[in-house]
Amino acid sequence: MYKVVTKRFLNDAKTICLFEIEAPLAARHAQAGQFVIFRLDEQGERVPVSVADWDREKGTVSVMVQAAGRTTKMLHTVEQGDYISDFVGPLGRATEMEGLKKVCVVGGGVGCAIAYPIAKEMHKRGIEVTFIGGFRSADIVILKDELKEASDKLIMCTDDGTYGEKGFTTVFLKQEIEANIAEGKPQFDRVIAIGPDIMMKFLADVTRPYGISTIISLDPIMVDGTGMCGGCRVIVGGETKFACVDGPDFDAHQVDFDSLLKRAAFYKDEQDRAAQHICKMTGGKRNG
Amino acid sequence: MANMRLTKNEMPEQDPVLRAGNFDEVALGYTPEMAIDEAKRCLNCKNPACRTGCPVAVRIPEFIAKVAEGEFEAAYDIITSTNSLPAVCGRVCPQEKQCESKCVRGLKGESVGIGRLERFVADWHMAEQAKLEKVEVEVPASNGHRIAVVGSGPAGLTCAGDLRKMGYDVTIFEALHKSGGVLVYGIPQFRLPKEIVAKEIDNLKAMGVKIVNNAIIGKSETVDELFEDGFEAVFIGSGAGLPQFLHIPGENLLGVYTANELLTRVNLMKAYRDDYDTPIKHFHRVAVVGAGNVAMDAARVAKRLGAEHVYICYRRGRDELPARLEEVATSCPPVSKRSSMPRPRASSSTCSITRPASSRARTASSPALSCCARSWASPTRRAAALPSPCRAASGSWTWTPSSSPSAPAPTP
């Protein structure tokens, strides 16, 4: 059993919540870009979620989870001091940072939670970080202060303009790239984009004509997370890769987004049905 | 005088019609009377060839002699002196290729049902243990040397059990949340009940074997760190079963599962049960490519998930298929239609997995499978020879969710 040491909602709408979990084995080697898999209880499914932070001394790993489906909604009902059944990691490869000098990290919605530790680590290593964070509206914005600290330049934007700039991340990424050219500044060595699959697809289209190396972090449906089941396969450069062991970071210009989007929706009917069956009497707690 | 009947006592089985709709164990096990009767078929050979066919050299004639006398607990002690997992091995070892293949009785008639007897003895022991209020387990004294075992599958469990008996202080590190490896994620409930695996693991724990779940050696902790932490030796039993792809067009379409994913969802995550959260698709027509034991498991799982038709596609003939005979026998009659020969082929555009354009296709995520019949390059050595494709025009068939396949007869 794994103890929830801290639980904290990260935005006014309470859509995204931070859970700091006591998991010394996962904390020992966790790095930015990797993920963990948690399971609520005996009946629960295995759900992958990126590591947002870690404390090797305390032996804790933090994750930031958006309530989307049945399991994540139920996780949001778990309180500080409670225990969850399983928490395993770190899984996948850490984000590559070697040799980078100037990067643009783009986060979309809860993707900012994954982008944050990457930006923080890069910033710490002296890499010049421009962070573009996009949200639907002001009430779901997360990590305002943390992102400021983790970047040299921060652009926050919302679809409706209720917080920061008004517009999509794609617009601001293009603007930054063009500004680098116009002002004669060095161009980004790399763009790292994390967010909804469709956002990453369009961001890849933005950087492609400029030839800027673009990495995206994928979270396809997984079961074991160790390369055993083959459920998380993605097509990259025409080859089948496993996101759990070959990723989760991949070259955005090589990823087959169409198959990615289709695979992500494979269990949509089952997920929708399951999400509707969350017990209202217990407030989402199983056997509560 | 030995029982000279030429055939094994038949294994009682769950009714085929009933079992196709549930995940309960198919083989029900011998009664004590059946076990004693079967045990009496053993000739107790002076040079027991059966033992040489057993990877852990179980003292087979000795334990069978005890079964014949009705001394089941004594038989259990004999088996477990060299085998830590008798209830598992009695069920899923390929005995017909191992111990039973060497049995003298097999020269004329059927070999002694060694696997069935091993299973009987293990089950009898477990049932007796369950009657006791408190189980006394002999805990071997520690010799002070620590050994790490990576993976809690059959290899890891066996290694841990044997080392513990020798006095070593053993810790198993398992990546998944449940221990047992392929015994829990791969082999289905109806062939190896998970309660049996859990009991065998509990036996090891009672002997003093420690198990750490959710520990991925190489990720959570490196092998070097295990040594730094005081382990003097590391046994790596990380498993061999990674998915293999056919490299044919369309294999990443929705609805194409690897056996590992299908079986893991169903066996480990219990997706077949309503009270478990992990989803699984319930398809009506299922094609399984390959005919080994895993293919049989996948086909039988598909049937139990509600598939009306399950087809096994295999590149060789029926006589060559690699699954255990017992598996084929229990899969086949009630479970699946089988078409030997037609096989998805990589090098031809006519052989692929495609999304049918037909509006009759049941759902958007139902792929179709095209196959190509094969002929034998060397009819005299069929098992060794690779089949070669016969003319596609005469020998290919397409399988779609809305049409039944009509497999052509193999070209001789």
Nearest CA distance, B215 vs chain A (angstrom): 7
Spatial CB neighbours of B127, under 8 Å, sequence gap ≥ 6 = none
- DSSP labels, B84-141: S-HHHHHHHS-TTTTHHHH-GGGGSSPPP-HHHHHHHHHHHHHHHHHHSSS-----PP
Give whole-number Cα distances, B220 to A23, A117, A232, in Å: 10, 19, 21
Whether B261 sits inside 8 A of A229 (CB atoms) is: yes
* Sign, Cα dihedral of B364, B188, A229, A220: positive
Q: Select from B183, B184, B214, B222 the residue whose CB has the most chain A CBs within 10 Å, as the one to mutate to test that interface.
A: B214
Q: What integer is the mean pLDDT of B260-266?
A: 95
Task: Examine the pLDDT at A103 and tell me if it is beyond 90.
Answer: yes
The residue among B208, B160, B206 whose CA lies nearest residue B180 is B160
Q: Which residue on chain B is closest to A224 by alpha carbon? A: B176
**Residue in B242, B252, B261 nearest the CB of A240:** B252
Spatial CB neighbours of B410, under 8 Å, sequence gap ≥ 6 = B317, B340, B341, B373, B374, B375, B376
- DSSP labels, B357-387: --TT-SSTT--EEEEE-EEES-GGGTTTSPE
Task: Examine the pLDDT at B397 and tell me if it is beyond 60.
Answer: no
Give whole-number Cα distances, B132 to B24, B129, B196, in Å: 25, 5, 17
Tokens of B63: 């334990």
Tokens of A41: 């209880």
Which range (A156-170, A212-226, B246-260) has the least confidence? B246-260
In this prediction, residue B395 has a pLDDT band, given cuts at 50, 70 and 90, of: very low
Q: What integer is the mean pLDDT of B133-140?
A: 81
Give B272-287 pLDDT, tens digit per residue.
Answer: 998 899 999 888 888 8
Give whole-number Cα distances, B232 to A13, B276, B372, in Å: 53, 40, 54
**Residue in A71, A229, A263 nearest the CB of B264:** A229
Q: Which residue on chain B is closest to A231 by alpha carbon? A: B261
Q: Which residues pair with B66 in a beta bridge?
A: none
Q: What percent of chain B has pLDDT over 70?
A: 80
Q: Select from A3, A25, A239, A279 the residue whose CB has the most chain B CBs within 10 Å, as the one to mutate to test that interface.
A: A25
Give B165-223 pLDDT, tens digit per residue.
Answer: 999 999 999 999 999 999 999 999 999 999 999 999 999 999 999 999 999 999 999 99
* Distance separating alpha carbons of residues B364 and B359, to the nearest angstrom: 9
Is the Cβ of A134 closer than 8 Å to some Cβ of chain B?
A: no
Whether B241 sits inside 8 A of A228 (CB atoms) is: yes
Q: What is the ipTM of this complex?
A: 0.91
How many CA atoms does the CB half-sphere of B406 hold within 13 Å?
2
Q: Say how many Å lie between the first and final Cα of chain B, rounded.
A: 48
Cis omega (within 30 of 0) for bond into A220: no
SS3 B341: coil
Task: Examine the pLDDT at B378 and tell me if it is beyond 90.
Answer: no
Q: Which residues pair with B196 in a beta bridge?
A: none
* Distance separating alpha carbons of residues B106 and B7, to the nearest angstrom: 9
Please tell me the predicted confidence (pLDDT) of residue B106: 93
Q: Which residue on chain B is closest to A39 by alpha carbon? A: B177
Q: For residue A223, which amino acid is it?
A: V
Task: Examine the pLDDT at B362 and tell me if it is beyond 70.
Answer: no
Q: What integer is the mean pLDDT of B289-311?
A: 89
